Amino acid sequence: MTTGSIQGHIIRFAIPIFLGNLFQQLYNTADSIVVGNFLGKEALAAITSCGSLIFLLVGLVQGIFVGAGVVISTYYGAGDITSVKKAIHTSIAFSLCSSVFLTIFGYFFAPVILRWMGTPPNVFDDAKAYVQVFFLGISALILYNTAAGILQAVGDSRHPLYFLIVAALLNIVLDVLFVGFFKMGIEGTAYATIISQSVSVVLSFRLLLTSDDIFKVKLRNIGFKKGMLSRILRFGIPSGIQNSVTSFANVVVQSSVNLFGAAAMAGTGSFMRIQGFALIPITSFALAMTTFTGQNIGAREYNRVKTGVRFGVTFAIILAESIGILLYFYADVLVALFNRDPSIIIYGVQKSHISSPFLFAVAISHVMSGLFRGAGKSMVPMAVMLAFWCIVRVLYIKIGLLFLMDIRVVYWAHPITWMLSATVFIIYYYKADWMNHKVTV
């Protein structure tokens, strides 16, 4: 990514990530559609309400893997192959350890958090069953994200896409089989997800272990290399904290939605699954910007970074807002795919009409975050997200509901905080002297 067409590199790198995220989003969407149509409103409310809880527990680790990607891509851009290999093997060792921790912690403590979220009694048992089975297989999610991050950091975004396509299609088949034919209930969707993700892990690590490329993994070399874990954590912990505090805020949002009953939970959750597709181009370009920036900073091609971010932000905004327009006008049809209950559709449409017009602000926030992480300024997005996506969001909801007990108060929490963070990122980009910071790993 350090020579040649900037736009071409970013697009070629982002498209496989975009398609990969598209298929990854199919995991949750297929689960929800099958559950909503086969098991009913309460089961749909249960599975859609678990997303913020799962990411709350997983977000810290995934953020640290973002730091690993920054370290790997920066060394790769600088041509330091020995350090690239050390970073790869250290990140795998960390993922194995974190997988064990998350399996135990998630299985035993997720139900406690569900109660703290105020999950209604008629939804709680299904939510608990789903989340406990999910965390029994959480190692598959962690290991796949590790392998995909390694490949993407060295510029290979195609193979993670291929593996996700296989896993997503398998997940859809297993969802219908386990829930529709074997009558395994909501646990069947969790088992389908675990099996599908395990297949993607096998395919990913088969490539890492057998390839002769720079990212080749040797089992005997997996371990914490001297000084490397501290470098990864230095870049990754701010991203992990950002993920965790944002997830905590979204848990508060979910607990506030829970106050309005199962129909509100199902309608809001169904639309959030749909909105996830609109966020795909945003997260794809954000990751592309992190890798692009990391490699070019490593090669000291600073002007390419500036040109790249202008293109990345503009393109992400256009894509996100185009999808947002479609969501605004066709929300009723899309929510009905999950369940045709009129009360569920009403809540989903309300959420769409409030959130969809503001997706451009999410694009700015995420792509700018990717830029600053790649430039070694990961504290900046962490601070902005902590301030607006956590503190302001939570305070707004808690205070707002005291004055007006209306779910639309909760729905406005996302657009308001998106706009605030986007504004601050733009000001920082143009006013701060961030490009004169020399990144060292």
198 contacts 166 by C-beta, under 8 angstroms: no
With bands split at pLDDT 50, 70 and 90, how would you rate the model's confidence at 138?
very high
pLDDT at position 146: 92
Task: Note whether 324 and 30 are within 8 A (CB).
Answer: no
Q: What is the pTM of this model?
A: 0.75
Say what the pLDDT of residue 194 is: 93
Q: Is 433 exposed, middle or buried (0-12, 13-18, 19+ CB in 10 A)?
A: exposed
Reported residue count of the chain is 441
Specify if 219 maps to a domain. Answer: yes
Summarised one tens digit per residue, pLDDT across range 184-198 is 999 999 999 999 999
Over residues 224-246, the mean pLDDT reads 83
Nearest to 409 by CA among 351, 358, 365, 360: 351
CA distance 213 to 79: 14
Tokens of 411: 């729905």
pLDDT at 178: 94
Cβ-in-10-Å burial (0-12, 13-18, 19+) of 71 comes to: buried
Judge residue 234's burial from the number of C-beta atoms within 10 Å of its C-beta, 0-12 exposed, 13-18 middle, 19 or more buried: middle
Kindly state the DSSP code that residue 438 receives in the 8-state scheme.
Answer: P
Q: What is the pLDDT of residues 248-283, one digit of tens each?
A: 888 889 999 999 999 999 999 999 989 988 888 788
Q: Residue 40 above 90 pLDDT?
A: no
CA–CA gap between residue 275 and residue 25 (Å, rounded): 10
Residue 306 lies in a domain: yes
Q: What is the DSSP letter of 377?
A: -
Determine the structural domain holding residue 68 and report its residue range.
6-436
Please indicate, yes or no, if residue 441 is contained in any of the structural domains: no
How is residue 204 written in tokens? 């990913």
Return the pLDDT at 439.
43
Residue 3, judged by CB atoms within 10 A of its CB (0-12, 13-18, 19+), counts as exposed
Query: 150-186, pLDDT tens digit by residue?
Result: 998 887 878 988 998 899 899 999 999 999 889 999 9
- Answer yes or no: is 48 within a domain: yes
In this prediction, residue 216 carries a pLDDT of 93
Number of H helices, E strands in the chain: 17, 0
Average pLDDT over residues 79-92: 92
Between 173 and 60, where is the model more confident? 173
Confidence of residue 433 (pLDDT cuts 50, 70, 90): low
Distance CA 302, CA 326 (A): 37
pLDDT in tens, 368-399: 988 888 887 878 888 998 899 999 999 999 99
Banded model confidence at residue 76, pLDDT cuts 50, 70, 90 = confident
Q: What is the 3-state secondary structure (H, E, C) of 227-261?
A: CHHHHHHHHHHHHHHHHHHHHHHHHHHHHHHHCCC
Residue 179 lies in a domain: yes
pLDDT at 436 over 60: no
Is 441's pLDDT higher than 50? Answer: no
Q: Between 1 and 418, whose confidence is greater?
A: 418
Q: What is the pLDDT of residue 440?
A: 44
For residue 379, the model assigns a pLDDT of 84
> Per the structure, how many domains does the chain have?
1
Query: Residue 1: inside a domain, yes or no?
Result: no
